[in-house]
Structure 1
Amino acid sequence: MKQALHLGAISFDAVKHLVLCRAERRPPKLDLDIYPYLPRATVEKTSAKAYMRLLDRKEEPA
């Protein structure tokens, strides 16, 4: 997981790939430069305050 976070690999498939590569003792191939049509994603760390705001909200009628 540390390697995935360090690389910015956030998808299930990328993390699974890293885990399998580590288990099979082979280098991972996560070079996205060969996929120029994929958009670059930036994901920020979620703050605890954001979750607390969701928990503090009173239940709204449906």
Structure 2
Amino acid sequence: MGPPPEFATLRRLMEARMSKAGRREYVQVLRLLEIFDIDDLHVVVTKALQLGAVGLDAVKHLVLCQVEKRPPKLDLDVYPYLPRADVATTSAARYMSLLSRDAA
């Protein structure tokens, strides 16, 4: 029996993003099976896909958190190729002006 279908999705995304390097990273993800249980890794790969955290570092971090029963803390600074989101602080005055404009 082969790996669950989520592993194929992870491989496809890693190869699409990083070509040969993505293939090598995927092999490293599979090598995590030497240390961790397939069920733990399956849960983590599914979670990584949901989070859009497609990479060896993210999968390794998530599986360690899964085994150690602690919440993950993914640091986006180590993923410089991901687009940055610039979210400003909400201004209550601007929000209220939008509400009053809609009421008119």
1:37 is displaced (CA, Å) by: 7.8
- Segments of 5+ residues of structure 1 without an aligned counterpart are 42-62
TM-score, structure 1 normalization: 0.53
- RMSD, matched Cα: 2.3
Corresponding residue for 1:12?
A: 56
1:29 is displaced (CA, Å) by: 0.6
2-structure distance, mates of 1:12, 1:31? 14
- Segments of 5+ residues of structure 2 without an aligned counterpart are 1-44, 84-104
1:21 is displaced (CA, Å) by: 0.2
TM-score, structure 2 normalization: 0.33
Question: For this pair of structures, how many residues does the alignment match?
Answer: 39
Q: Report the identity percentage.
A: 59
The SS at the match of 2:63 is helix
Deviation beyond 2 Å, 4+ runs, structure 1: none
| Greater Rg over alpha carbons, structure | 2
